[in-house]
Amino acid sequence: MTLKSAAMLPLLALAAHGAETTFFAFDDHNIAWQHNLKLTLAAAEKHPANPVLRAGPPGSPDHGHAILYGTVLKQDGIFKMWYLGMHETENKAGQAPGWWRPMCYAESRDGVTWTKPALGLVEFNGGTANNICLIEGGVHSMTRVNDFLSILHEPDDPDPARRYKCAFIAHMPFEEVKGGRSKIGPDERRWGAFITATSADGLRWKVVGDRPVNAGGERFEVSGLYRFGDFYHATGQLISPWSWRADGSSVGRDMLAYRSPDFTTWSKAKARSFIRPGQAANPPVKGQQMHMGAGIWNRGNVILGLHGMWQDAAQPPPKGASWNLGVRIDLGLLVSNDGVHFREPVPGHAVIPRGRDGEWDDIAILQGHAFVNEGDRTLIWYSHWDTGGRLKDMHIGLATLRRDGFGHLSRQVSEEEAHFITSTFEASAIALNVDGITAGAPLTLQLLDHLDRPLEGMTASLDQNGVRVPVTWPRPLPAGKKTALRVHYPANSAARVYAVYVTRGVGS
Maximum distance among all Cα pairs of the chain, rounded to whole angstroms = 74
Read off the pTM: 0.93
SS3 content of the chain, % helix, strand, coil (to 5): 5, 45, 50
pLDDT recorded at residue 506: 47
Q: Is 506 exposed, middle or buried (0-12, 13-18, 19+ CB in 10 A)?
A: exposed
Q: Is 173 exposed, middle or buried (0-12, 13-18, 19+ CB in 10 A)?
A: middle
CB atoms closer than 10 angstroms to residue 303: 23
Rounded Cα distance, 369 and 319, in Å:
36
Q: What is the DSSP letter of 505?
A: -
pLDDT recorded at residue 190: 67
- Which ranges of the chain have pLDDT less than 70? 1-18, 88-99, 180-181, 188-190, 505-508
pLDDT tens digits, residue range 360-388?
999 999 999 999 999 999 999 999 999 99
C-alpha 215, offset from chain centre: 26
Rounded Cα distance, 315 and 301, in Å:
43
- Contacts (Cβ under 8 Å, ≥6 apart) of 432: 443, 462, 468, 469, 471, 487, 497, 499, 500, 501
The DSSP string of 416-441 is: S-EEEEPPPB--SEEEEEEE--BTTB
Dihedral of CA atoms 364, 369, 373, 376 in degrees, nearest 10, equals 10
Rounded Cα distance, 460 and 89, in Å:
65
Cβ(162)–Cβ(227) below 8 Å: no
The DSSP string of 161-208 is: GGSEEEEEEEEE-GGG-TT---SSS---SSEEEEEEEEESSSSEEEES
pLDDT recorded at residue 498: 99
Rounded Cα distance, 341 and 478, in Å:
33
pLDDT recorded at residue 13: 35
Give the CATH number of domain 45-404: 2.115.10.20
Rounded Cα distance, 72 and 417, in Å:
42
Q: How many residues does the chain have?
A: 508
Q: Taking the CA atoms of the chain, what radius of gyration do you get in angstroms?
A: 24
Task: For the chain, give every domain's residue range.
Answer: 6-40+408-503, 45-404
Task: Dihedral sign for Cα 463, 464, 467, 470, please.
Answer: negative
Single out the residue of 80, 261, 102 nearest to residue 164, CA to CA.
80
Single out the residue of 176, 171, 172, 174 nearest to residue 187, CA to CA.
174
CB atoms closer than 10 angstroms to residue 252: 24
Question: What Å distances lie between residue 92 and 7, 192, 389, CA to CA?
Answer: 59, 22, 23
Rounded Cα distance, 282 and 172, in Å:
36
Give the CATH number of domain 6-40+408-503: 2.60.120
Single out the residue of 501, 360, 347 nearest to residue 428, CA to CA.
501
Cβ(381)–Cβ(81) below 8 Å: yes
Q: Is 7 helix (H, G, I), strand (E, B) or coil?
A: helix
- Contacts (Cβ under 8 Å, ≥6 apart) of 209: 138, 196, 264
Residues 273-298 as b/e (b if ≥16 CB within 10 A, e otherwise) read bbbbebbeeeebeeebbbbbbbbbbb
